[in-house]
């Protein structure tokens, strides 16, 4: 991975905490466009399409949806800037900057939590991309249809064709990842814009069939008006923040490559509020036009493309969405566990080895079974928020309130008992307590589903965990970067 920026690995750095991938970067080269492209790859996927479309099906008017969308994505933008700064300033990835708050050994706690979550979503996104590839294969080779039937040719809940497509994309992602961060940067620079091209072509095709007058920014009936709409809007805001909570937490893995914090901020502005708003409007325009053109509402872009009476268009569209999903998978769910698992044992687990551990794990969990169970997905999202929220809150409180934006970079790589981030035997008990309190309280509405108001409260697990993690850690920690 050091093909993009050479790392500074000082002789004094303890080998148990250091390798070329975790050490501070000597040169940071990413500009605003690279960060913008990162977010385009993150947003422009099948999952992003479905999420954006779902906001317009909540029974709100279109202007209420747009307000909720803008508020939610603005929160994500602000928080991403907060989490980006410490890694951009120091040139180290998320699990390493966590050492300043959790301790040089305690940082493995947030790293493993984030890594395991990323493994699950890595598998699900690979499955979604393989479903798009299936569309292409069945269109080109209709004789494969029997092999797409899981009841006839299936194993562990997936058809033989599904296994083939999943394996192809699994290998392709591994190859892109293995070639290093420079190749990944070029790949994501291409993915996001490519989806925009296909989306505009798809929208143009549907408009030519239905006419401009068929566009409707409300995908369902308006059920909530006045103050009754406020709780639904708040739920929509929470959905937007929860969708981005994973990449937002470990955004330092990417901001570390930014040539300046200003460049990172500009890239975030282009890639989040502006890009997500344009993409969401494009999604709802496209989805609304499927009703007059195909006679039913279709919120899956691959399914929409598959209905076009042109083999070339189907192949182009489905392949583009497959490639885009590969892009989000690599940036959101491959690179993160690569750094996280490498942080556990830097000398034994390289960045590439950490990524391959995540890739193998993504198969073992049979992600198609997870994705095909709405209850499991719902439970997973809420649980994810309950644990990621406190990790985010503790890191932000630690860097901005406790350490006052000062980090001793060399101390991040020493196991000396006199080191600033040694705390107690390498662990900061205050950070662990704050994380545990935040996660435990946030999980209450997830587990107590029949309790009064718990179903609604469960939408806000990320916010509950984040606020509690932040407040508890701030209250029990002295205003110093050193905790006795």
More confident residue, 103 or 379: 103
Per-residue pLDDT at 341: 85
Per-residue pLDDT at 1: 41
Give the whole-number percent of the chain exceeding pLDDT 70: 94
Per-residue pLDDT at 483: 41
Residue 168 located in a structural domain: yes
Per-residue pLDDT at 257: 93
More confident residue, 323 or 343: 343
Residue 26 located in a structural domain: no
CA dihedral 286, 291, 297, 300 (to 10 degrees): -30
Per-residue pLDDT at 137: 87
Tens-digit pLDDT profile for residues 439-463:
999 999 988 878 888 888 888 899 9
Do 259 and 393 fall into the same domain?
Answer: no
Tens-digit pLDDT profile for residues 365-422:
888 887 776 566 667 767 778 889 999 999 999 999 999 999 999 999 999 999 999 9
Residue 8 located in a structural domain: no
pLDDT at 131 over 60: yes
Write down the pTM of the prediction: 0.85
Q: What is the mean pLDDT of residues 278-285?
A: 86
Per-residue pLDDT at 24: 93
Do 197 and 336 fall into the same domain?
Answer: yes
Tens-digit pLDDT profile for residues 1-54:
434 444 555 667 888 898 888 899 988 999 999 999 888 877 877 777 777 777
Per-residue pLDDT at 484: 34
- Residue whose tokens read 């590839």: 133
More confident residue, 483 or 74: 74
Number of structural domains (the chain) is 2
Cα–Cα distance between 100 and 118 in angstroms, integer?
Answer: 23
Residue 310 located in a structural domain: yes
* CATH number of domain containing 336: 1.10.4160.10
Per-residue pLDDT at 375: 65
Listed ranges 158-172, 228-242, 450-464; the one with the highest mean pLDDT: 158-172
Do 385 and 321 fall into the same domain?
Answer: no
Do 332 and 384 fall into the same domain?
Answer: no
Q: What is the mean pLDDT of residues 249-276?
A: 94
Do 153 and 56 fall into the same domain?
Answer: yes
End-of-domain residue from the set 372, 405, 437: 372
End-of-domain residue from the set 372, 395, 426: 372
Per-residue pLDDT at 330: 79
Is the CB of residue 311 less than 8 Å from the CB of residue 140?
yes
More confident residue, 93 or 10: 93
Q: What is the mean pLDDT of residues 139-157?
A: 88
Do 364 and 417 fall into the same domain?
Answer: no
Per-residue pLDDT at 6: 46
Do 382 and 357 fall into the same domain?
Answer: no
Do 236 and 361 fall into the same domain?
Answer: yes
Do 322 and 252 fall into the same domain?
Answer: yes
pLDDT at 355 over 60: yes
Q: What is the mean pLDDT of the chain?
A: 85
More confident residue, 348 or 400: 400
Do 318 and 383 fall into the same domain?
Answer: no
Residue 321 located in a structural domain: yes
Per-residue pLDDT at 14: 86
Do 144 and 253 fall into the same domain?
Answer: yes
Residue 386's closest CA among 340, 445, 453, 341? 445
Do 395 and 425 fall into the same domain?
Answer: yes
Per-residue pLDDT at 7: 54
Per-residue pLDDT at 95: 92
Domain that holds residue 80: 32-372
Q: What is the mean pLDDT of residues 273-288?
A: 87
Residue 198's closest CA among 127, 302, 128, 273? 302
């Amino acid at each position: 991975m050091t093909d993009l920026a050479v790392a500074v690995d000082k002789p004094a750095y303890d080998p148990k905490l250091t390798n070329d991938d975790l050490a501070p970067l000597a040169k940071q080269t990413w500009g605003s466009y690279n960060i913008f492209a990162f977010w385009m790859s993150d947003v422009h996927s099948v999952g992003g399409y479905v999420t954006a479309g779902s906001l317009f099906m909540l029974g709100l008017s279109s202007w209420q949806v747009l307000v909720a969308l803008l508020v939610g994505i603005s929160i994500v933008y602000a928080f991403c800037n907060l989490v980006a700064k410490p890694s951009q300033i120091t040139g180290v990835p998320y699990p390493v900057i966590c050492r300043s708050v959790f301790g040089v050994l305690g940082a493995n706690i947030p790293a493993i939590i984030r890594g395991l979550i990323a493994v699950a979503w890595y598998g699900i996104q690979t499955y979604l991309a393989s479903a798009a590839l299936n569309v292409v294969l069945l269109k080109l080779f209709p004789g494969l249809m029997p092999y797409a039937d899981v009841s006839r040719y299936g194993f562990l809940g997936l058809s033989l064709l599904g296994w083939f497509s999943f394996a192809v994309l699994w290998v392709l992602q591994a190859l892109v990842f293995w070639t290093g961060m420079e190749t990944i940067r070029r790949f994501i620079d291409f993915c996001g814009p490519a989806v925009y091209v296909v989306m505009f072509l798809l929208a143009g095709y549907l408009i030519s069939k239905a006419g401009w007058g068929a566009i409707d920014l409300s995908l369902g009936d308006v059920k909530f008006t006045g103050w009754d709409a406020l709780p639904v809007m708040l739920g929509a805001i929470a959905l937007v923040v929860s969708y981005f909570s994973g990449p937002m937490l470990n955004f330092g893995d990417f901001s570390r490559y930014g040539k300046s914090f200003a460049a990172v901020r500009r890239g975030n502005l282009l890639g989040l509020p502006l890009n997500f708003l344009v993409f969401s409007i494009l999604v709802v325009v496209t989805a609304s036009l499927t009703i007059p053109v195909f006679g039913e509402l279709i919120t899956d872009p691959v399914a929409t493309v598959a209905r076009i009476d042109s083999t070339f268009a189907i192949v182009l569209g489905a392949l583009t969405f497959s490639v885009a999903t590969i892009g989000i998978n690599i940036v959101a769910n491959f690179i993160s566990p690569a750094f996280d698992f490498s942080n556990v044992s830097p000398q034994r687990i390289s960045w590439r080895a950490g990524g391959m551990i995540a890739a193998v794990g993504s198969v073992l969990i049979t992600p198609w079974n997870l994705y095909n169970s709405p209850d499991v997905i719902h439970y997973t999202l809420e649980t994810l928020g309950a644990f990621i929220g406190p990790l985010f809150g503790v890191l932000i409180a630690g860097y901005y309130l406790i350490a006052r934006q000062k980090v001793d970079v060399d101390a991040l790589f020493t196991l000396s008992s006199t080191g600033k981030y040694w705390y107690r035997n390498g662990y900061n008990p205050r950070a662990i307590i704050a994380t545990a309190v935040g996660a435990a309280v946030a999980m209450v509405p997830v587990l107590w589903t029949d309790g009064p108001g718990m179903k609604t409260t469960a939408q806000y697990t990320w916010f509950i965990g984040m606020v509690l993690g932040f407040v508890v850690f701030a209250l029990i920690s002295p205003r110093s970067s050193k905790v006795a």
